[in-house]
Structure 1
Amino acid sequence: MTSLEDLPIRDDLRGKKAYGAPQLDVPYALNTNENPYPPSDRLVKALGEAVMDVAGSLNRYPDRDAVALREDLAAFLDADTPGAGLTAGRVWAANGSNEIIQQILQAFGGPGRTALGFEPSYSMHPIITEVSGTRWIDAHRDEDFGLEPGRAVAAVAEHRPDVVFLTSPNNPTGTALPLETIEAVLDAAPGMVVVDEAYGEFRREGTPSALTLLEGHPRLIVTRTMSKAFAMAGTRLGYLAADPAVIEALLLVRLPYHLSAVTQAVARTALAFREELLGTVDALRAERDALVGWLRGEGFAVADSDANFVLFGTFPDRRQVWQSLLIRGVLIREVGPPEWLRVSVGTPDEMAAFRNALKESR
């Protein structure tokens, strides 16, 4: 039987493993940072009607540039961050934020170029970087998982990367970056600066978005997703805000008709129901903060979180703890620093099950 090693794949792909979190049938899946609240019956009906509306024209290609969707996204972001001055010409959308990252690296990375990030951080940044032929540089985060501006600037000055990734709130640690760190990197970076805000809607009160820095920074890109706060992980819709020239650059590398008519219709419907969908954010924030307090009260080390997950530890053998929780029907994530585990914030019942299972696992 032919194996992967028998095929003439690129040399730089040999020995690598495909990305993927475990997809197991368990009572409590708390490993992929999804919003645990499903769409209401009212929204389900609206989504079905939206798909019906486009079903009769699926023999035709969709709007190649997704103009109406981008207008809706711009309106949402402009309301979320007053003064950002966003229009459809400054917003782009793709199949999840991973395709957004891929397009950015196709346009601004590639052979002979470098991308720099501060790990532990989102594991797809280095994966997509290397698959695009770009060299990845890990500059490391501080011991508390933060990022001191002076050290970040020093790393940028040393390596002169073509693309810098800043993740805020950071995955898997949950920590948000102060704007002064982002501004310092913007001032020092010779290339593009990407601020990944996949969990931006969950940040604590008073934590500003990098969207406020777009004006006057034409090399800044802020990425978002509808997979988390919007509870639309199955839709696969990521988007970004940037200078119009950045959108022009991405048009050079995007695949034709990359967003289906169904995806565009579903995403626009979700945006129309954003008050309902984002209405769960406050509840998840409160559940997160309660979980952080409980874990610390139980003697665990816990990273400050502005996201819908919590990184906690430390464990001499985290695999044993992970397995013990799984036996009890609770699936969390082995990710990030070796002695730590990450748990997604779920419903009160899911969090109660997690707490009980963790107590029994000690």
Structure 2
Amino acid sequence: MNIIIKSSKSLTQSLQNPNHLFTSQFSTSFLVTKTPKAFKKKRKPKPSPRTTLVQTEPNQNPNLERIVERDSLFRFLTKSKQYLINQPEHVLRLDDAGKLHRELGFPRGRKVLRSITRHPLIFQTYRHTDGKMWFGFSDLMEDLLAEEQSIMDSMERDRVDKVRKLLMMSAKKRIPLCKLHHCRVLFGIPDDFRDQVSRYPDYFRVCVEENGLRVLELVDWDPLLAVSAIEKEFMVDEKGAKRKFNFPVKYGKGLDLELEDARKLNLLNTLPLVSPYSDGARLDLWTLEAEKYRVGVIHEFLSLTLEKRAYIHHLVEFKEEFSLTKHTYQMLLKQPRAFYLAGTEMNWVVFLKDGYDKNGVLIEKDPQVLLNEKLYKYAQMPEMEQGAQVGMEKLHLT
């Protein structure tokens, strides 16, 4: 009887597990059942707008691209200069500076002292009587700042006219003062421009809105200022001005137009241009006239800048005032004769091509630009060169 029961149990087990003869009491968890990562086929990372260049290699202008690289190289210099100028006695405690990576322009997680020591002729560190380390400008830098102030004083009227033209281009002839302050370096506007406004009551009026926002308004429209750079060029070189922009006509292949005929047809669509000083806000947003207006506004905006170029955040700052759209990037790419876009898709720079020669050198240099170039030169020196030292001594004597 017991034999029958045992045989029935074994029969039941064999039915439940047909591979019972091959089972093992040892674990097989140690066996590799997945392909190791080292042998897996690596997928190419998706292109990121943060690193993807605007221009492909055949279309790149190396000279203009190097200017963007220079901005990155001197980021700490330019941002720290602006920040220290507004500090008492132009100094800052090193412990506090280490927490201001965004304001001073040094990489997050890095020591600020590392960036300071890269420009020994511009910045210096010292131990204060309180036992703390501080950093500030060198004597050379203080001399350059005095020279810069002299330039600001001599160019004050020019800067005032720039602001007037910006107001005349704006939709409601008014711009918040904070926006002008944010872009002040772009146009060479002094830090204390908000205080200078009161000296020009015939041009400007400051209004304070309910939320406390101070807005600069245009008082007087000057028709002599309402002439754009492209209009001036049109009077001198009409043929060149006509070729600057291109708004092509869409037509079927059945027309089979020759190149010259297509050019003439596109020219009929391109002209007349729309003045950036006209009321662009009344135009239907997606019409050809509105696009002409926006292209003209950006062209005039860049012509007012010191270096005939601007970053994306500068344009975004005036998005409402100049009736710009989110398609500004694509719009500028369609005008390669007038503009050159450099940098990456996320942080691009637009250059006014007519402002630079074939070697990427700015054709007309404002006195402030010349001073900036001098600053960049000293910033790259580990120590004062003999010729430069003699020049600075002469500056002190005068």
TM class, shorter-length: under 0.3
Structure with higher helix content: 2
More relative contact order, 1 or 2 (CA 8 Å, 6+ apart): 1
TM-score (norm 2): 0.23
TM-score (norm 1): 0.24
